[in-house]
A and B are shown apart, each in its own frame.
Chain A
Amino acid sequence: MRTTTPWWALWRLPLLMLALVVSLGFAQFALAQADPEREAATAVPAVDADIWRQIESGETGPNYRSSRFGSDYNLINTVGETWRQLRERWVSPFGVIAVVGMIVLIALFYLLVGRKKLDEPRTGRKLLRWPLMVRSLHWTVATLFILLALTGLNLAYGKAVFRPVFGDGFWAAMMSGTKLIHNYLGPLFGILLVIMLLRLLADNIPRKHDLAWFAKGGGLVGKGVHPDAGFANGGEKLWYWLLATAGIAVIVSGLVMDFPNFGQARDTMIWANIIHAVGAFGLTAVALGHIYIGTLGTEGSFEGMASGYVDETWAKEHHNLWYEEVKDQAVSEEQLEANRTSSQGDEPAPRSG
């Protein structure tokens, strides 16, 4: 049946246009509504948004297969990019700021404040502070620490510095050596640090007077400022407990990366790397402070770790509480010399603390 439209019906046309324009706005909505249940029931979902979410989550699931033998890597390693960004944007700059910043601070401190000299003249009588065993441990750990710090810094920043300077041939050998030293001496450092920490534990239990020591800034600035300190002062204890916490974290995370044969996942090694780098850069910066205070910064400190003996005056000023305990064990330099020549390196004097 066919009808003709009379001319007066044309007034409907603008209305029709308006309806069309309005309904177009809903068209997409209407399409999406077109019987989705039936389509979902008959269709095979191929690569859809859910699959991409699955891939991006790094999830592997029971029905995940990778044809590479002995590999459980997911399709896309999403943590890798996080690690890269953390490393490039935060960890690497942090290392430079920490280490270079510390060097600058120490240089400024030395120029402005200068060396902490003994207030009183030396008495010439000596006290045994560091027995041979502790000194051996200290210097072995110190040597390893410096080697590991230098090789570690080279692994982190060497490519920006040495490759352009030395050329490829030397650079390749240098980096191979760096990695060998770092990976082989690392575990040795770990073992020795743990032994040293155990050996010095009793001396480094925090006490109330350590708080006062920190409140006075350790007496670092100002003549005649000497807050109370036992065998180890607050600063030494802080360094001890930094090594006992951050140091152990650096060692453990290093071992996780050093021995990839225990089936640890790639993600585990990635986080180990972040912990290792942050901890090691931080410790390197603090170690610079330790080295400064132990050598240039304080008169009479270095000889303690070098010979084992410190001057009475030094002990009285820097470790007054310890001095009170051991002052009757002081020996004169001549006596010490005589002891040395008679019994090579044998040190009978007791140590307390």
Chain B
Amino acid sequence: MATMKFMCDAERCIECNGCVTACKNANEVEWGIQRRRVVTLNDGEPSEVSISVACMHCDDAPCIAVCPTETLFQRDDGIVLHDKDLCIGCGYCLYACPFGAPQFPKENAFGERGKMDKCTFCAGGPAETAEEEYQKYGANRIAEGKLPLCAEMCSTKALLAGDAQEVADIFRQRVVQRGHEDGGWSGNPRADADSLAYDATQQG
């Protein structure tokens, strides 16, 4: 069985937020919730780098470990889903998540959390009918044989989604093309000079 993963190629991400918009649209995500975000480090500096983040569907997911109601669970293909009927809005998944993925609608007084919402890898969630599933969790594109819309719509193909092996193969090939000598995250200055985020003003 395939293991589904996201991978964002930070050297390609141009911070267009197309993935954020695509996700919001595909899943009709509720007001105030944004399942995907784009983080930019060193904005405006030569070393600026952006990366798109949502639920990373961890193998040993901290959210599943700490949830007191077993709202969160992992499918056989590695996708981490949540059952909104069980969620009590305690926020533990948010405490534990490395990526800030779980979010809560602030429906009641004093910021009391509603039912948690997070990226489903466009795989819906547990529900009786397809309508209920769409209303609670958004699209189930995986069931239709499609990949998450954020990755499908990524203009620079920075965001990759799919079987971990294939994603890794694509990325590995990119690394080879770019000529990084020590791998994708190398600190090799010569490789960085060839990076897409290259800064003409700095050329000596």
B-binding residues in A (CB < 8 A): 36, 38-52, 54-55, 61, 63-69, 71, 73-78, 80-81, 83-84, 87-88, 155-156, 158-159, 163, 168, 171-172, 175-176, 178-179, 183, 257-262, 266, 269-270, 273
In whole angstroms, how far apart are the Cα atoms of A259 and B27 in the complex? 29
Whether B112 is near chain A, meaning CB under 8 Å from some CB there, is yes
Decide: A159 near B189, CB < 8 A? Known: A44-B199, A64-B39, A76-B99: no
- B192 contacts A178, CB within 8 Å? no
Nearest CB of chain B from residue A64's CB, rounded to whole Å: 6
Whether B204 is near chain A, meaning CB under 8 Å from some CB there, is yes
- B39 contacts A65, CB within 8 Å? yes
Nearest CB of chain A from residue B58's CB, rounded to whole Å: 11
Decide: A55 near B192, CB < 8 A? Known: A155-B90, A179-B89: no
Decide: A68 near B34, CB < 8 A? Known: A44-B47, A155-B90: yes
- B41 contacts A63, CB within 8 Å? yes
- A44 contacts B202, CB within 8 Å? yes
Decide: A64 near B40, CB < 8 A? Known: A45-B47, A80-B98: yes
Whether B97 is near chain A, meaning CB under 8 Å from some CB there, is yes
Nearest CB of chain B from residue A16's CB, rounded to whole Å: 28
Per the 8 Å Cβ criterion, residues 141-181 of B in contact with A are none
Decide: A46 near B192, CB < 8 A? Known: A257-B91, A266-B95: yes
In whole angstroms, how far apart are the Cα atoms of A282 and B89 in the complex? 25
- A159 contacts B192, CB within 8 Å? no
- Considering the complex of A and B, which 6 residue pairs feature the smallest CB-CB distances, nearest first? A261-B111, A73-B100, A48-B187, A68-B37, A43-B189, A179-B88
Most buried by B among A40, A45, A46, A259: A46
17 extra interface residue pairs, beta carbon distance < 8 Å, beyond A44-B192, A88-B66:
A44-B199, A44-B202, A45-B46, A45-B47, A46-B195, A49-B187, A64-B43, A67-B40, A68-B34, A69-B34, A73-B100, A74-B100, A76-B99, A84-B65, A159-B69, A260-B111, A266-B100
- B189 contacts A179, CB within 8 Å? no
Other-chain residue from B43, B65, B69, B91 in contact with A88 (beta carbon distance below 8 A): B65
Most buried by B among A47, A48, A55, A259: A47
Nearest CB of chain A from residue B167's CB, rounded to whole Å: 17
- B39 contacts A168, CB within 8 Å? no
Other-chain residue from A71, A77, A258, A262 in contact with B97 (beta carbon distance below 8 A): A77
User: Hey, which chain B residues are within 8 Å of A87, CB to CB?
Assistant: 66
A-binding residues in B (CB < 8 A): 10-11, 15, 17, 20, 32, 34, 37-49, 51, 53, 62, 65-70, 85-86, 88-92, 94-100, 106, 110-113, 185-187, 189-190, 192-193, 195, 197-199, 202-204
Decide: A273 near B95, CB < 8 A? Known: A38-B204, A261-B111: yes
In whole angstroms, how far apart are the Cα atoms of A67 and B89 in the complex? 24
The chain A residue with its CB closest to the CB of B85 is: A172
Other-chain residue from A44, A78, A84, A270 in contact with B193 (beta carbon distance below 8 A): A44
Decide: A83 near B39, CB < 8 A? Known: A43-B189, A75-B51: no
Other-chain residue from B45, B47, B53, B62 in contact with A75 (beta carbon distance below 8 A): B53
- A40 contacts B189, CB within 8 Å? yes
User: Hey, which chain B residues are within 8 Å of A64, CB to CB?
Assistant: 39-43
- A75 contacts B39, CB within 8 Å? yes
User: Hey, which chain B residues are within 8 Å of A163, CB to CB?
Assistant: 70
Other-chain residue from A42, A88, A172, A269 in contact with B203 (beta carbon distance below 8 A): A42
Other-chain residue from A41, A71, A269 in contact with B95 (beta carbon distance below 8 A): A269
The chain B residue with its CB closest to the CB of A63 is: B43
The chain B residue with its CB closest to the CB of A88 is: B65
User: Hey, which chain B residues are within 8 Å of A260, CB to CB?
Assistant: 91, 110-113
- A76 contacts B47, CB within 8 Å? no
Pick 6 A–B contacts, CB within 8 A, sort by A: A44-B193, A51-B42, A75-B39, A81-B96, A159-B69, A260-B113
- A44 contacts B68, CB within 8 Å? no
Nearest CB of chain B from residue A293's CB, rounded to whole Å: 32
The chain B residue with its CB closest to the CB of A70 is: B32
- B88 contacts A43, CB within 8 Å? no
The chain B residue with its CB closest to the CB of A155 is: B68
In whole angstroms, how far apart are the Cα atoms of A183 and B112 in the complex? 9
The chain A residue with its CB closest to the CB of B38 is: A67
- B39 contacts A78, CB within 8 Å? no
In whole angstroms, how far apart are the Cα atoms of A46 and B175 in the complex? 13
User: Hey, which chain A residues are within 8 Å of B46, CB to CB?
Assistant: 44-45
- B91 contacts A78, CB within 8 Å? no
User: Hey, which chain A residues are within 8 Å of B187, CB to CB?
Assistant: 45, 48-50
In whole angstroms, how far apart are the Cα atoms of A61 and B204 in the complex? 29
The chain B residue with its CB closest to the CB of A262 is: B111
- B95 contacts A83, CB within 8 Å? yes
The chain B residue with its CB closest to the CB of A34 is: B190
Most buried by A among B37, B40, B69, B187: B69
Decide: A81 near B95, CB < 8 A? Known: A67-B38, A172-B85, A260-B111: no
User: Hey, which chain B residues are within 8 Å of A69, CB to CB?
Assistant: 32, 34
In whole angstroms, how far apart are the Cα atoms of A41 and B10 in the complex? 22
